[in-house]
Structures are given as C-alpha cells and as structure tokens.
Amino acid sequence: MPGYEIFGDEEKNEIADVLETGVLFRYEFGEQRNGIYKVREFEEKFAAYCGAAHAQAVTSGTAALKVALTALGVGPGDEVITQGFTFVATWEAILEVGAIPVFTEVDETLNMDPADLEKKITAKTRCIIPVHMLGAQARIEEIVAIARRHSLAVLEDTAQAAGGRIQGRHLGTFGNCGTFSFDAVKTMTTGEGGMIITGERDLWRSMSEYHDHGHDHAVNPAGRGGEGRSFIGFNFRMMELQGAIGIAQLAKLDAMIAAQQKTKALLREAASVIPGVQFRKLVDPEGDSATFFCFMLDNAERCRRVNAILAGHGVGAINFGENTWHFYPKWEHLLAGSTLSRSGWPFMEPGGRRRVLYDKDVLPATAELITRTLVYQIPVKMPAERLEKIRSALKSAATV
Ligand SMILES: *Cc1c(COP(=O)(O)O)cnc(C)c1O
C-alpha cells in the first residue's frame, strides 16, 4: 500500500520546481512564482483522474472529513452514521463538528451493512459516511439509494481506497463528496495531506472558502487582503511542496494498484490451501485498489491458531479484532468519553448532561466477523522471499 516505497526522481523534480521559486504558499506571490501553482495543478489532475468536477486539497484526510462535514452544514444536533470498522479519524471528525457519530455493523464486504444502516436512521440523521476500508468498495450504490430515499447526504471516506472503482467509476464520486488521505501509509502519499472531490460546485465553494479562513478567493485589486468572506472559516491549506509530491505520486497510482492486484491474486491462491477459508466479498474485484488481502476462518479460535502458526513462520497477519485504532469495541477513549475539555464536550453538554453513551457490545455481527478475519498489507513491491514465506506458512496452517 505505501507510496513511499516508490518515492523517486519524479517527486524530487516536482519539489525542485517549487524550491526554484521559493514560493511555498498556494495563493498569491504572482510574479515570484513564475506560473507555478502545484496545489492547484494537483487538484485539477486529481479531479480529472477521478472524473469529478471539483477537488479541494487540504492538510490531511482528517481535515478533509471536517471540511466536508462543515460544508455539508453538519453540526450540533445532528447524527452522522458511519461504520464500526474504520480508522478513528472518521468519527473524530464527526465529533469535531459537534455532531454525534452512530455506528453500523459491517457485512462480508468489511464495510457498511446497508440493512443495518436503514435501522440506524433517525429524525436527527443528517449524513452518512460509508468507508471504503482496506482498499475495497463499500456497497456504495445501495447506500446512496437509501440516503436518497431519506434525503440524506453521503460523504465517502475514501482515505484508504484512492484509485478504487466500481465498473470504472471512481470511489468518492458516488456520494455528494469523497475524501482522501495522503498520509505516510496511504497508497499515494504527500507525507501529510488530503483531498475532497465533489460534483457540486456550491459545495466545493464552501469547502474552498472554509478551509482558508472564509476567503472568497475572488480576484480584486487589493489582492488577498481585499477578499470578502461570507462565513467563518479555519486554516486547512495544503502547501506547495505537498502539491508537488502529489502530482508525481498520482501519476504512479494506477501502476501501484496494478502491482498490488498481482500480488493479491498470488496471496489468494496461497490462502486457498486452508480448508473452509472464505474471502472478503468484493463489490467489483477489478476495481479493488488491492492494498490489503483479507481472509476469514470459521471462528475466532481457529483464527488465533492459524495466526500463531503464521507468526511462528515470521509472517503473522493482522487481526483487526485486537487492533485499537480501527475496531469499535477497542476505542476505549470513545467508550469512556475521554476528552481534554473541562466541560466534557463533545460527550457532555456544557451543563453536565451526558450527550451520548457508547456500549462496546452493540455491534455483535461486526465483532464476530472481524475477530475471525486475518489481513496482510500488500506492499507495492512484494519481496519474492516474503511471498514464499507466507505461502509455506499458509500451507503449514492448513492442517490446524
Ligand atoms: C488515514 C485515514 C483517515 C485520516 O487521514 P489522515 O491523512 O491520516 O488524517 C481517515 N479515514 C480513514 C479510513 C483512514 O484510513
């Protein structure tokens, strides 16, 4: 998955363009920058690549979620539904805008279960955030259809699935908007960085203005200082060096995915020796960004025994049931409502009333599934030696 594996001359040359002018800021410095606008160019190229009308670069995938939710008008009093298997950033952003995260079960796609989503919609629901976890598609068309019936916005958290598609259509373009992360471990990386894509011009304008203190970015004689603003904003601006790296990494994204898909097919073949093994359900195998390979055993106990053997061979797999960053029952700070704020916000009202309580046992289907799933991360360049080790370890594990 990580694009840092292939960081090379292309990235260095793009960076050199910026260092040449010395302009690190995405706006202004008209003459000095010599026509070089890397962040803007990255946005244009990313939007074109995804087939989206607009793209807004920001400082991280987490910032992308916050900017998108804010532009969608989500705030205190609203509920936002996401899934119980995701990275903490998804619900951090929901709490950050003052809304309440509500969690659904995941199904055999390891993403949002549309049937459970229907059950969790209330009069307070404003937005749904399906996550395309571990590189593969959520059942996004079904989710968008449900959202339409209830007049709800859909924000796709595509942080882990840049370049993923369904029948050729890019993930992130099904809902009202889609967010991406380019952090250190994502398929394409800018070190830190994020992007939001949308087909809706007004939504993009709100994002563009909010992410830069409300600046309307309208050309005027006084330059930046003379710009107007129609609402309060914040600062989530991406800098030129990140934009430069993004341009080079984007050009390599399809090749990275193709390499990962090849490795994934080999891993799947290797795991097939385990009797009764099941594989994660893929909405469209051809559009899988193939950053991870997931396989399921019949129960958590057998999963533990198989993984002990894999670990004994030096190739232990990830069991997200034990992972504290991605799996609802392990989010102890969310469950406990831990926060630095004196009032206890966002878990408590300023008056001391509890706003929300989370029970770790409310997602039994997700727990059952996740604790019997094993996962290998797929590098862009898989060393033949490691692949061979995994293959022979899986063979040994086939008998337990
Ligand atoms: C990485 C990630 C994010 C956050 O991205 P950052 O760039 O690290 O802030 C959000 N959602 C998911 C699902 C992620 O994996």
Does one domain contain both 247 and 259?
A: no
Ligand 1 close to Cβ of residue 89 (< 6 A): yes
Write the pLDDT tens digit of every residue in 326-384: 999 999 999 999 999 999 999 999 888 999 999 999 999 999 999 999 999 999 999 99
Helices 38-50 and 9-21: angle between axes, nearest 10 degrees: 140
User: Is the CB of 159 inside a 6 Å radius of any atom of ligand 1?
Assistant: yes
- In this structure, the answer to whether residues 238 and 322 fall within a common structural domain is no
Q: Are residues 127 and 83 in the same domain?
A: yes
Q: Are strands 169-170 and 153-157 parallel, antiparallel or unpaired?
A: unpaired
pLDDT digits (tens, 9 = 90+) for 188-210: 999 999 999 999 999 999 999 99
Which is the closest atom of ligand 1 to the Cα of 193?
7
Ligand 1 test: best mutation among 65, 83, 90, most atoms within 8 Å of CB? 90
pLDDT above 80: residue 3: no
252, 284, 304 - which closes a domain: 252
**pLDDT tier at 149 (50, 70, 90 boundaries)?**
very high
The tokens of 283 are what? 């909405």
**Which residues, other chains included, contact 89 with Cβ-Cβ below 8 Å and sequence gap of 6+?**
61, 62, 65, 159, 181
Give the residue from 231, 252, 273 where a domain finishes: 252
CATH code for the domain of 274: 3.90.1150.10
CA of 61 from ligand 1 middle (Å) equals 5
> Which residue out of 45, 66, 120, 186 is catalytically annotated?
186
Decide if 186 is catalytic: yes
Q: Are residues 206 and 315 in the same domain?
A: no
Per the structure, the count of domains in the chain is 2
Q: Are residues 239 and 267 in the same domain?
A: no
CATH number for position 65: 3.40.640.10
Could you tell me the distance, in angstroms and rounded to a whole number, from the CA of residue 233 to the centre of ligand 1?
22
Average pLDDT, rounded, for the chain: 97
Q: What are residue 386's DSSP bridge partners? A: none
Q: Tell whether the model's pLDDT for residue 212 goes beyond 70.
A: yes
Q: Is 189 in the pocket of ligand 1 (CB under 6 A)?
A: no
Residue 212 beta carbon below 6 angstroms from any ligand 1 atom? no
Q: How many angstroms does the Cα of residue 240 sit away from the middle of ligand 1?
A: 21
Is residue 194 in contact with ligand 1, taking CB distance under 6 Å? yes
pLDDT of 8 reads 95
13-65 pLDDT, tens digit each: 999 999 999 999 999 998 999 999 999 999 999 999 999 999 999 999 999 99
pLDDT at position 271, please? 98
Say whether both 259 and 224 belong to one domain: no
Residue that is last in its domain, among 252, 279, 311: 252
The residue among 60, 40, 44 whose CA lies nearest residue 52 is 44
Q: What is the pLDDT of residue 4?
A: 83
Residues 186 and 307 in one domain: no
Per residue in 232-283, pLDDT (tens digit) is: 999 999 999 999 999 999 999 999 999 999 999 999 999 999 999 999 999 9
Give the per-residue SS3 of the chain: CCHHHHCCHHHHHHHHHHHHHCCCCCCCCCCCCCCCCHHHHHHHHHHHHHCCCEEEEECCHHHHHHHHHHHCCCCCCCEEEEECECCCHHHHHHHHCCCEEEEECECCCCCECHHHHHHHCCCCEEEEECECHHHCCCCHHHHHHHHHHCCCEEEEECCCCCCCEECCEECCCCCCEEEEECCCCCCCCCCCCEEEEECCHHHHHHHHHHCECCCCCCCCCCHHHHCCCCCCCCECCCCHHHHHHHHHHHHHHHHHHHHHHHHHHHHHHHHCCCCCCEECCCCCHHHCCCCEEEEECCCHHHHHHHHHHHHHCCCCCECHHHCCCCEHHHCHHHHHCCCCCCCCCCCECCCCCECCCCCCCCCHHHHHHHCCEEEEECCCCCCHHHHHHHHHHHHHHCCC
**Are residues 235 and 369 both part of a single domain?**
no
Distance set, CA 236 to CA 45, 65, 126, 143 (Å): 20, 11, 24, 29
Instruction: Say if ligand 1 is within 6 A of residue 156 CB.
Output: no
Q: Are 83 and 231 in the same domain? A: yes
Confidence of residue 143 (pLDDT cuts 50, 70, 90): very high
- Cα–ligand 1 centroid distance for 208 (angstroms): 20
Cα of 134 vs centre of ligand 1, distance in Å, is 11
pLDDT at 1: 60
* pLDDT of 5: 87
Provide long-range contacts, Cβ within 8 A and 24+ apart, for 208-217: 208/56, 209/233, 210/67, 210/70, 210/71, 210/234, 211/56, 211/58, 211/63, 211/67, 211/235, 211/236, 211/237, 212/27, 212/236, 212/237, 215/27, 217/27
Lowest mean pLDDT among 78-87, 90-99, 391-400: 391-400
317 and 238 in a common domain: no
What is the pTM assigned to this prediction?
0.97
In the structure, what pLDDT confidence band is assigned to residue 399 with cuts at 50, 70 and 90? confident
Same structural domain for residues 237 and 264? Answer: no
Q: Regarding beta strands 177-181 and 194-198, do their DSSP bridges make them parallel or antiparallel, or are they unpaired? A: antiparallel
The whole domain housing 242 covers 3-252
- For residue 86 and ligand 1, the question of a CB distance below 6 A is answered with yes
154 beta partners:
128
**Are both 287 and 349 inside the same structural domain?**
yes
pLDDT at 302: 95
- Cα of 207 vs its chain's centroid, Å: 18
